[in-house]
Structure formats: structure tokens, C-alpha cells
Amino acid sequence: MDRCSMCMPLMIALFLMAGTNVINLAEGQTLPPCGDQLFQCLNYLNYTIPPKSCCIPLQNIYATQKTCLCQVVFTPGILQVLGVTTTQAVILGHSCGVDVSNTGCKAALPDLAPSSSVKPQGKKKSHEQHSGAIA
């Protein structure tokens, strides 16, 4: 059996898993317009220093679409469908120099309920130390 035919079942499984996540999100809510620009950061949730390919778009979204970014982080269900916690998102933002904590998003989302503060902490990996690693 050649390599391409062996890869097909894996590709189909990945497609179905991705489709399931989209369907679950679509049933309850829609992804805010800036959300699709954040997918490239999913592999770097456990890095202390995410690569520029993640941080630059994240910083641009924060500068130009802060309300949208804060909605992605604090709307219940959006991050969970992707297997991400609010704490992970806040720490990733901090690692990229972006404050998407309750404090940072309060002006963008005035109705944001106060909750316990998420304090960014150091992570185990950095992009430079573990290039090619998948978080």
C-alpha cells in the first residue's frame, strides 16, 4: 500500500473531527469575525514565547478589533469547542504582549462579569527551544 492511500483515512478522520467542532459551535453561536485569524496560535498555547506567526496577528487583532478578540476569549463555549480554556488564552495573549484578561477586556466588553483574575505565569516551552514541537 502506498503512502497516499494510507494517509487518506487519517485525513478523513481529521476532517470529520474539525467538522464536528464547527457544527457544535454553529449550534450555539457563531465565531466572531476575528476568530478565524487566531487558529494559527492553537499550536502554541503551551509556549512561553510563541512565534511571530502567532503573535503579530494576535497583536494586530488586539489593536484593531479588541472587542472581537475579547468576545472570543470570554464568550462561553467558543474556546471550549477548540479545547482551549480562558486561562490558556489569557496566558498566550500575555506571552505575545496582549492583555486579554478581565482587566484588559473590561473597556471593550463593559458587561464582562468580574471573576478571579488570571495571572499569566511562565510556561514550559518556548518556540526557540522547541521549534517543531506541537503543544
> Would you state the pLDDT for residue 36?
86
Within a domain: 106: yes
> Would you state the pLDDT for residue 112?
74
Within a domain: 105: yes
> Would you state the pLDDT for residue 31?
80
Range of the domain at 135: 43-135
The ranges of the chain with pLDDT < 70 are: 1-29, 113-135
Q: How far is CA 127 from CA 43, 55, 109, in A?
A: 10, 11, 31
> Would you state the pLDDT for residue 6?
42
Within a domain: 1: no
Cβ atoms within 10 A of the Cβ of 5, count? 8
- Counted domains in the chain: 1
CB 121 within 8 A of CB 91: yes
Within a domain: 72: yes
> Would you state the pLDDT for residue 63?
96
> Would you state the pLDDT for residue 7?
36
Q: Residue 47 in 3-state DSSP?
A: strand
Within a domain: 2: no
Q: What pTM does this model have?
A: 0.64
